[in-house]
Amino acid sequence: MEIIRTVAEMRAWRKLAGKLAFVPTMGNLHEGHLALVTAARGQADKVAVSIFVNRLQFGQGEDFDAYPRTFDADCDKLRAAGVDALFFPNERELYPRVKQDFNVEPPHIQDELCGAFRPGHFRGVATVVTKLFNIVQPDVACFGKKDFQQLHVIKAMVDDLNSPIEILPVDTGRAEDGLALSSRNGYLCAEERAEAPRLYRNLCALRDSLLAGSHDYAGLEAAASADLAAAGWVVDYVEVRQADTLEIAHAGEKRLVVLAAARLGRTRLIDNIEVFR
């Protein structure tokens, strides 16, 4: 596996790569990331992964400085997974003028769901992903469904900007007890880790109610939020939305997604389940 640290070197490598699949990450890799790599390997001649902890998508008081950096362990996992190139730029390489004056501004959805609690987050995501796409120039890019709102923003961005990149969604990786795999799971203490699957259980219960024919979205959302709050969670949201647009869902729609974000101790967890009925 080649480790590439500059834009010029990445572009030179890309010219010889043939059809290229790309997995952008912030490092601290787990099995969910490796599932993205596996999906990428089935799509192209070569696979490139990036590791970059993007300051632009962290809000004030969030965990940018504390975000785990595990470069050596990440490299071992990527080599074992058969990755051909790792793009590992520093901040000055990716943001040469330090301040990013030009940003990619998503539409109103950036201020809803997670965006309502993390102002500017999706602007930072869209901007860095655009930069990475311009540098790496992949044919295919793989993103996990766990970050469902992020996936929606990136797919819409690629469509609107006519980017010649196929976005491949990959199902959420889960632990045996249902907890969605996330780098932030490492912040959970043992007691919190045992409690954490409650989020997924509530989403499953809400899904089952929808599949049984319920259209009381507000009541189902409130019940799930109340169960989490009673167990000590601080709930940001539990919402039923249209799966294809993330707009507010209305009775009778067939393609839905249930999304949730809540804090357990100091750890913010997100999850979602698609519901097709």
Is residue 155 part of an annotated ligand binding site? no
The reply, when asked if residue 26 is annotated as ligand binding, is yes
**DSSP β-ladder status, 2-4 and 20-25:** unpaired
Q: What is the pLDDT, as a whole number, of residue 136?
A: 98
**Token couple for 85:** 């190139």
Inter-residue contact 113 to 245 (CB < 8 Å): no
2-170 carries CATH number 3.40.50.620: yes
What share of residues in the chain are helix, strand, coil (percent, to 5)? 40, 20, 40
pLDDT at residue 233, as a whole number:
98
188 beta partners:
none
- Which one is catalytic: 33, 121, 152, 215? 33
Q: Which amino acid is at 215?
A: H
157 in a known ligand binding site: no
How many other C-beta atoms can be found within 10 angstroms of the C-beta atom of residue 243? 20
Q: Can you give the residue ranges of every domain in the chain? A: 2-170, 183-272
Helix ranges restricted to H, the chain: 7-14, 31-41, 71-80, 91-94, 114-117, 121-136, 148-160, 190-195, 198-211, 217-230
Residue 121 annotated as catalytic? no
Do the annotations mark residue 60 as ligand-binding?
Answer: no
Angle, helices 148-160 vs 121-136, to 10°: value is 50
Contacts (Cβ under 8 Å, ≥6 apart) of 120: 56, 57, 59
| CATH 3.30.1300.10 correct for 183-272 | yes
Digits of tens for pLDDT over the chain (277 positions)?
999 999 999 999 999 999 999 999 999 999 999 999 999 999 999 999 999 999 999 988 788 888 899 999 999 999 999 999 999 999 999 999 878 899 999 999 999 999 999 999 999 999 999 999 999 999 999 999 999 999 999 999 999 999 999 999 999 999 999 999 999 999 999 999 999 999 999 999 999 999 999 999 999 999 999 999 999 999 999 999 999 999 999 988 999 999 999 999 999 999 999 999 8
259 labeled part of a ligand binding site: no
pLDDT at 87: 98
Output the CA angle 23-27-33, nearest 5 degrees: 50
- Tell me: is residue 30 an annotated ligand-binding position: yes
Q: In degrees rounded to 5, what are phi and psi of residue 53?
A: -85, 110
> What's the pTM?
0.95
- The β-bridge relationship of strands 255-264 and 234-242 is antiparallel
